[in-house]
Amino acid sequence: MRHKTATMGQPCEIIYDKSHWELLKTFRGLAASVLYALEHAGFECFVYGSLARGDVSPGSDIDIIIPRVVQSFRVELALDDIGITSRKLVQATPSALVKAHVHLPQKTMVTFPLIQPTERELDFYAFGGMIGGKGLEYVTNNRVLGVNKRLMLIEPTAEGHAETPLSDLSPGLVAKKIGVGQEIVDERIRVLQRRAKVGTTGVYIDRPLTQDEGFEAVLEQITASDSLVRRRVKNRRRR
């Protein structure tokens, strides 16, 4: 059953059946092959979202984050054997982080920042649950806390997970449980509740790259013509 964004339900415990464990194992196996390729090339990387928490569904994406600015061509070389299907440069708002999205088969996406991220911007990924490649195959005892798009805190249990609506918890407690700053908790509640009311409003930049283009060169082009992006990029480069 597909739930709408920010539609918090009642506290409950979900028991996973055999098919759920198998689905989680399959998805984690797919993610592990990508993480292995990236780690072998020297990149620190993490899986985030439902695959880290364990509450996957057949339609779940495999989302991977490299949390630091890296040379994009090295990432693409590492992923060459897996097969890149498309690439995009994305910025949600003029003040948001500028990111590279590299799409792979099996609904897999590798994201990395093109400018230095703030601590809060990195907390965005940890808020949803984030886990590294080592031990990813241990699906039963290597799952982490995180909040889903319904604003339910997902806490892994031995047999599945417990769900608690954020409305029943203080933002400070949620931040402490997950290990993030309270600022990102407040922000995600505000953003997801607004999205539930007005729908998705799109992003400021959603620029597909051609086969011959590189992320850094495209960012330079955008920076040269867009003063808002230029200000955002310069602010992070000064730090």
Task: State pLDDT tens for residues 13-26.
Answer: 999 999 999 999 99
Instruction: Give the CA distances from residue 146 to residues 39, 78, 128, 178, in Å, rounded to whole numbers and listed in that order.
Output: 24, 29, 4, 6
Q: Is the model's pLDDT at 198 over the cut of 90? A: no
Q: What is the pLDDT of residue 83?
A: 96
User: What pTM was computed for the model?
Assistant: 0.92
Q: Is 87 in contact with 103 (CB distance < 8 Å)?
A: yes
Q: What is the pLDDT of residue 1?
A: 46
The model's pLDDT over 163-186, given as tens digits with 9 standing for 90+, comes to: 999 999 999 999 999 999 999 999
**Mean pLDDT of the region 145-157:** 95
Task: pLDDT band for 191, please (50, 70, 90 cuts).
Answer: confident
Tell the residue number behind the tokens 């930049």, with chain if given.
205
Task: pLDDT band for 122, please (50, 70, 90 cuts).
Answer: very high
User: Does some domain include residue 7?
Assistant: no
Q: How far apart are CA 64 and CA 47, in angstroms?
A: 4
Q: Domain tally for the chain? A: 1
Q: What is the pLDDT of residue 222?
A: 96
Q: Is the model's pLDDT at 239 over the cut of 80? A: no
User: Does some domain include residue 196?
Assistant: yes
Phi, psi for 108 (deg, rounded to 5): -105, 135
Q: How far apart are CA 62 and CA 179, in angstroms?
A: 22
The residues with which 162 forms a beta bridge, in sequence order, are: 13, 155
Q: Is the model's pLDDT at 136 over the cut of 90? A: no
Q: Is 48 in contact with 41 (CB distance < 8 Å)?
A: no
Return mean pLDDT, the chain. Answer: 92
User: Does some domain include residue 4?
Assistant: no
Q: What is the pLDDT of residue 196?
A: 77
User: Does some domain include residue 29?
Assistant: yes
User: Does some domain include residue 5?
Assistant: no
User: Does some domain include residue 204?
Assistant: yes
Owning domain of residue 102: 12-237
Task: pLDDT band for 5, please (50, 70, 90 cuts).
Answer: low
User: Does some domain include residue 132?
Assistant: yes
The percentage of residues in the chain with a pLDDT greater than 70, rounded to a whole number, is 94
User: Does some domain include residue 162?
Assistant: yes
Tell the residue number behind the tokens 């949620």, with chain if given.
174
Q: What is the pLDDT of residue 195?
A: 80
Q: What is the pLDDT of residue 193?
A: 86
Phi, psi for 7 (deg, rounded to 5): -90, 80
Q: Is the model's pLDDT at 93 over the cut of 60? A: yes
